[in-house]
Structure 1
């Protein structure tokens, strides 16, 4: 006659296996999220240096999608920039402008890829990327933008020299 099966240990074993699978899935999500974030923004800590002439220089790597995304600051607050040479001005989503404590000074219409949008003029006292520091940058607050990235347009980029070689972009002050 076979030994009686202990139902409590069988149930405990099933719960333990389910718990192990759930923990494994959570760990995989965490690891893949980090990998996906690095693919979107390979410049989370941009490489920077001084040239022989003493100029501040930042080297950015192109992301998986062919864009240049990097970390920086606006008036001391950490932000994520998406470089956009087609944008006339630095464009900040309205929800981020509130967090950055930026003041609206007037409104005007702009043409975007999504059509005409009314934006609000604002001013950035200090914008940084690596060791590059830009002062007095004109920008706009765009209520139509839902992303968490700030478009780094020509109102900032015209203050630096930039060159692209392969999948690398060098910004020089």
Structure 2
């Protein structure tokens, strides 16, 4: 039983369309899975306990604490870095956030000495924790969109590690 050419073309077109849709769905699913693996704290657990605001963070697969938050009400992703003196913002991201470059300064990074520019973040938040007038630096040598949440912010918080969880309190 041979099908007419027009039916064969329609069947082939539907077959190709089904494969394209399946690949698109798999790609979307993989992208979401990857984002969840990189940042398991896209919507961090927040609560109020004994008059303190508390955020509980889970580590990612590389055992880093990454959390979604905001700088001046614009969405960013933070990587907690107790080895960083200040909050460090990549230069391109700083432009998007409209942070003003201040004085140039030499900073020591994992990649050696670099020039960064002082700035101040008016409002920084993640979960229900909110900080104001945080000292920061704009680092032209940093690539990507991840902000290092350094000690200029973290010293304003109390933090405790229980097992794999990191609990931040304000």
By the TM > 0.5 criterion, same fold?
Answer: yes
Which structure has the larger Rg?
Answer: 1
Is 2:143 the partner of 1:146?
yes
| Pairing partner for 1:84 from 71, 74, 81 | 81
Aligned to 1:34: 32
Is 2:107 the partner of 1:122?
no
Provide the alpha-carbon RMSD of the alignment. Answer: 1.1
> 3-state DSSP class of the match of 1:34?
helix
The one-character-per-residue Cα deviations of 1:88-131 (angstroms, maximum 9, x if unpaired) are 11000111111111101111111111122110100011111111
Q: Supply the distance in 2 between the matched residues of 1:67 and 1:122 (Cα, whole angstroms).
A: 25
Q: How many residues align?
A: 170
| Pairing partner for 1:61 from 58, 61, 71 | 58
Which segments of 5 or more consecutive residues in structure 1 lack a partner in the other structure?
none
* Structure 1 stretches of at least 4 aligned residues deviating more than 2 Å after TM superposition: none
Compute the displacement of 1:143 (Å): 0.8
Is 2:165 the partner of 1:171?
no
TM-score normalized by structure 1? 0.94
The one-character-per-residue Cα deviations of 1:19-38 (angstroms, maximum 9, x if unpaired) are 10010000011011111111
Compute the displacement of 1:4 (Å): 5.1
TM-score normalized by structure 2? 0.96
Which segments of 5 or more consecutive residues in structure 2 lack a partner in the other structure?
none
